[in-house]
Amino acid sequence: MSTVADIRAIANLTKAAIRQSLFSRILGSPVAFVSLGSLLILIAAIIAAPLLTPFDPNSGDIGQALLGPGADHWLGTDSSGRDVFARILYGGRNTLGGAALALAVASILGVTTGLIAGYHGGKVDTGLDWYTNLVIAVPHIMVLLAVRAAWGSNIWLIMTVFGVLMAPGYHRLVKGIVSGVRNELYVDAARVSGLSLPRILGRHILIAIRAPIIIFAALSAVVVIGVQAGLDFLGLGDATVPTWGTMLNEAMVNLYIAPGLMLWPGLALGVVNAALILFGNGLRDALEDSKSTKRPSRRRGISANAPKAGTSGSAAVPAAGGSDGDTRAGAGTAVVGVPGCGFIPDEAVLSVENLNVGYPSGDGHKLVVKGVSFGVRRGEILGLVGESGSGKTQTAWACLGLLPTGGQIVDGSITMSGRDIGSVSARERRGILGKKIAYVPQEPMSNLDPTFKIGYQLVEPLRRQLGLSKAEAQAKALAMLARVGIANPERTFDSYPHQISGGMAQRVLIAGAVACDPAVLIADEPTTALDVTVQAEVLDLLRELQHETGMAVILVTHNFGVVADLCDRVAVMQLGKIVEQDAVEALFSNPHHPYTRMLLSSGLEDKKPRTRLLPAATPVLEETKP
């Protein structure tokens, strides 16, 4: 039987499953396609049995018993002189037909109860859970033997009962998926649209469980066929009905006289089961591949830059072509920066020169950062600002050496104290990260490991990077927590991430980032996920820490208010390029580049309420995603 882990693994595929049509995914997987093809050919042959063989599977000429393969009887005859080929074909009708019946019963029962339990939850769900757990606990073979003893060895009856016993597997799978999909916003939207329950279930929910059900059915068909063949092989089936199992049973009797008889039913079972398993696995792999098309979203802003962008397909590559933004400028036209946009100050702690970051696509690279140059001095806060798809986060990741899989620095250098840190080994990088360059991420909660206490997560890097003893590291961590304004450091030190608020978590991450006294701090949208009152406090904290330590800060953000609050210098990015760079006052009071001007004018400050923000004549040039 399929394990719970199996069910979970399949259920995890749902998100991907609903993103691409099922058929095209089957076609896209050679394994799934070939195995499904061979299954269909076999089924067609079984259905067309009367056309393929003139013999009756149940009557034979006893004088022709146990013949080897020949011109008349292609696969020979059995001990009663019946044609083996005919028995394989007609037996397939019963074997596969019985399996199909069991699967149909199991899936109809299980999907229905799963849908109801998943969608409604509550008492119905609890009741059904009791029932399914009970059925799972009953030994299936015993029940089947009891049914046979009570009502005889009718294959269809036994398979129906087996279907009922298999239903809990489907129930659990469907329930798991449905209770997830039920909370999707599009299901809420459908409810608000006035759709009736059956329609919502049919249109929005069944579609999500379709592919996992097919995979699960393919794998559980193997179990059904195995159990059924096993019962027949043991002689518990109806000997008058040809199945592959009864054929095996007969072959066993004549094993020493005609060992070849074992081959054909065994081969048929083997081919069918292998095809089913390969089909299930192939479809699962195909689904997993397409998973990377999933877009990550941040709470208050959608980032085109997938932090853990998938491994395959250009779909996962952050869109650099302005494909995500409704950006006006630059659509179709080349982006050209104003003079001074690639300014690198003298004595920069970190300088980036002509940086190009690309992701493999087709032949060559798709560039997401194109010839970016900037530098940051000690004690300076540089803002990298831009909309989604501008390449600002990619630039930050390149500086950290943490580009997602596939991403690489195609050209250019990232220099820190005379060394190009863009091309160092992973080992050297570990020595740089944390100690020389630190990082404050966007989502505080997802950057703390939920399974470890905060204290442990702060102490371990300190011991590793600074070589402190456990007690020293602990004292330093507590001091850092106090420094970032956490009221009760001991308590926070002893808490798990889920026990603290988002603002506190961001303070903890800042404490961890500055603990090793880095020369450069890269903060990627550090306040985007926080409430404004908390944001103001975190910005205050960053400002204070920067004043105290004199570290250089690169602040990646889309929020011009945050830039105005914190930064000394600003670089505006558009479509992978810096289009303008200037001191913060100068940039806000006198923006040169049309894109900067457009961004600044899109803000809501000083606008008369309830008036148009953008001139009506502005052409709508919204590109679609490639």
Partner 1 sequence: MSAPLLEIKDLVTEFPMKGWRRPPFRALHSVNLDVKPGETVGLVGESGSGKTTIGRAVLGLAPVTSGSINFDGQDISRFGSRERRSLSKDIQVVFQDPYTSLNPAMTIEDILAEPLIVQGLDKRAASDRIARLLDRVQLPSDAAGRLPREFSGGQRQRVAIARALALEPRLIVCDEPVSALDLSTQARVLDLFLEIQEATGVAYLFISHDLAVVRHISHRIAVLYHGEVLEFGDAEAVSENPQSPYTQRLLLASPVADPVRQRQRRQARLAAL
| Segment 466 to 495, residues that bind partner 1, using CB under 8 A | none
Residues 578 and 341: their CA atoms lie apart, in Å, by 6
> Which segments of 165-280 are extended strands (E)?
none
Identified binder of partner 1 from the candidate list 19, 419, 435, 463, rule CB under 8 A = 19
Question: Interface with partner 1 by CB under 8 A: which range of 258-266, 347-355, 391-399, 605-613?
Answer: 605-613
Nearer to partner 1, 235 or 301 (CB): 301
Which residue type is seen at 34?
V
HSE of 295, CA atoms in CB hemisphere, 13 A: 16
Residue 292 binds partner 1 (CB under 8 A): no
**CB 236, CB 148: distance < 8 Å:** yes
Give the total of residues touching partner 1 (CB under 8 A): 76
Site for partner 1 in 491-530 (CB under 8 A): 502
- Minimum distance from residue 199 beta carbon to partner 1 (Å): 7
- Eight-class DSSP state of 343: -
Helix H, strand E, coil C: the string for 45-64 is HHHCHHHHCCCCCCCCCHHH
Structure tokens that stand for 445 in this block: 């909660």
- Minimum distance from residue 421 beta carbon to partner 1 (Å): 31
Residue 599 binds partner 1 (CB under 8 A): yes
Residue 558 binds partner 1 (CB under 8 A): yes
- Minimum distance from residue 18 beta carbon to partner 1 (Å): 5
Residue 620 binds partner 1 (CB under 8 A): yes
Nearer to partner 1, 80 or 446 (CB): 446
Residue 308 binds partner 1 (CB under 8 A): no
Residues 99 and 414: their CA atoms lie apart, in Å, by 63
Question: Interface with partner 1 by CB under 8 A: which range of 275-283, 325-333, 369-377, 466-474?
Answer: 325-333
Identified binder of partner 1 from the candidate list 123, 137, 138, 297, rule CB under 8 A = 297
Identified binder of partner 1 from the candidate list 420, 540, 544, 548, rule CB under 8 A = 540
Nearer to partner 1, 18 or 486 (CB): 18
Nearer to partner 1, 496 or 588 (CB): 588
Residue 162 has φ and ψ, to the nearest 5°, of -65, -40
Structure tokens that stand for 127 in this block: 């009741």
Residue 196 binds partner 1 (CB under 8 A): yes
Question: Interface with partner 1 by CB under 8 A: which range of 25-33, 172-180, 544-552, 598-606?
Answer: 598-606
Helix axes 260-290, 206-233, angle to 10 degrees: 160
Identified binder of partner 1 from the candidate list 54, 63, 139, 194, rule CB under 8 A = 194
Residue 547 binds partner 1 (CB under 8 A): no
Which residue type is seen at 208?
A
Residues 614 and 58: their CA atoms lie apart, in Å, by 83
For 358-501, where are the alpha helices, taking DSSP H only? 392-400, 426-432, 454-466, 470-483, 489-493
Question: Interface with partner 1 by CB under 8 A: which range of 162-170, 181-189, 357-365, 449-457?
Answer: 181-189
Structure tokens that stand for 610 in this block: 């309830």
Residue 301's beta-bridge partner residues? 298
Identified binder of partner 1 from the candidate list 328, 429, 430, 435, rule CB under 8 A = 328
Residue 560 binds partner 1 (CB under 8 A): yes
Q: Using DSSP, state whether 177 is helix, strand or coil.
A: helix
**CB 243, CB 94: distance < 8 Å:** yes
Residue 199 binds partner 1 (CB under 8 A): yes
Identified binder of partner 1 from the candidate list 5, 139, 533, 617, rule CB under 8 A = 533
Residue 189 binds partner 1 (CB under 8 A): yes
Which residue type is seen at 60?
G
Site for partner 1 in 354-413 (CB under 8 A): 387-388
Residues 387 and 301: their CA atoms lie apart, in Å, by 9
Residue 550 binds partner 1 (CB under 8 A): no
Nearer to partner 1, 137 or 620 (CB): 620
Write the CA distances from 83 to 54, 70, 80, integer angstroms. Answer: 10, 11, 9
Identified binder of partner 1 from the candidate list 27, 134, 252, 302, rule CB under 8 A = 302
- Eight-class DSSP state of 365: E
Residues 393 and 439: their CA atoms lie apart, in Å, by 12
- Eight-class DSSP state of 560: H
- Minimum distance from residue 283 beta carbon to partner 1 (Å): 16
Residue 185 binds partner 1 (CB under 8 A): yes
Residues 399 and 582: their CA atoms lie apart, in Å, by 21
Residue 300 binds partner 1 (CB under 8 A): yes
